[in-house]
Amino acid sequence: MKNRNLLKSILIPSCIFVAILLLDLLTKHFVFQKLSLSGDVMSVIPGFINFVHVENTGAAWGILAGRPVFLIVFSILIFAIYLAFYIIRVKKFRGRIHLTLVISLGLIAGGCVGNLFDRIAFGYVRDFINFQFIDFPVFNFADMALTFGIILMIIYFFFFYTKEDERLRERNKALNEFKDEIQIFQNDSLTLKDVQSENKDQKEEDLNKPNEGKPPENTSADNDEINSNKTQKD
């Protein structure tokens, strides 16, 4: 059971990470092959969504534009901290962590690495998804994964983080009580064995101990001599 929980806590986010990363990089590659110039547009669902060639030098949704080096370092640092937190939780709970945290890690890892690849390879992030019916920044699948991953992370911290710690404390308390009961039982068993051993030693000592305070028994020769003396007196 322990190994299966640990496997799930590693396998599930790994699969999500790979799926998001492939989806993000492949869609960027094919869309930007069609839309080779910045500003090129391809209609997908008229009036609802289209693809636009946008070179985003900022973070998700275009924030912090023009600071690629800072964003690269910041992205690596934040992801390393979150990954370290996840590893600590997995070790602490032996893989039995809430699914929201597991999925969150996979989404954040996929989105972070997808955009990080663009920043390192091109100096900007390739965005192309555009909603026509609302005024909304152009984005990509990595941005979507990061957004949903952060939402799940917030849900985990608000609703499940404290409950997991409380459940662990209760489990450890019950385990300690069980260990105490076993220790008491073992001590009682050892005491009983000691008493039985002492009783056995006492019995053996009593059997081997010579009879004290009792007159020595007369032998048959002594009895014959006493009878002879009585006859002579008579």
From the list 24, 127, 188, 222, the catalytic residue is 127
Report the alpha-carbon distance of residue 158 to residue 205 in Å, rounded.
72
From the list 24, 40, 143, 224, the catalytic residue is 143
The answer to whether the CB of 71 falls within 8 A of the CB of 119 is: yes
Among this protein's residues, is 118 annotated catalytic?
no
Tokens, residue 67? 């600071």
Q: How far is CA 107 from the centre of its chain?
A: 18
Among this protein's residues, is 40 annotated catalytic?
no
Residue 97's Cβ-side half-sphere holds a number of Cα atoms within 13 Å equal to 28
Query: 217 by DSSP, 3-state: which?
Result: coil
Report the alpha-carbon distance of residue 122 to residue 127 in Å, rounded.
12
The answer to whether the CB of 150 falls within 8 A of the CB of 108 is: yes
Report the alpha-carbon distance of residue 120 to residue 68 in Å, rounded.
9
Which residues are the active-site residues?
127, 143
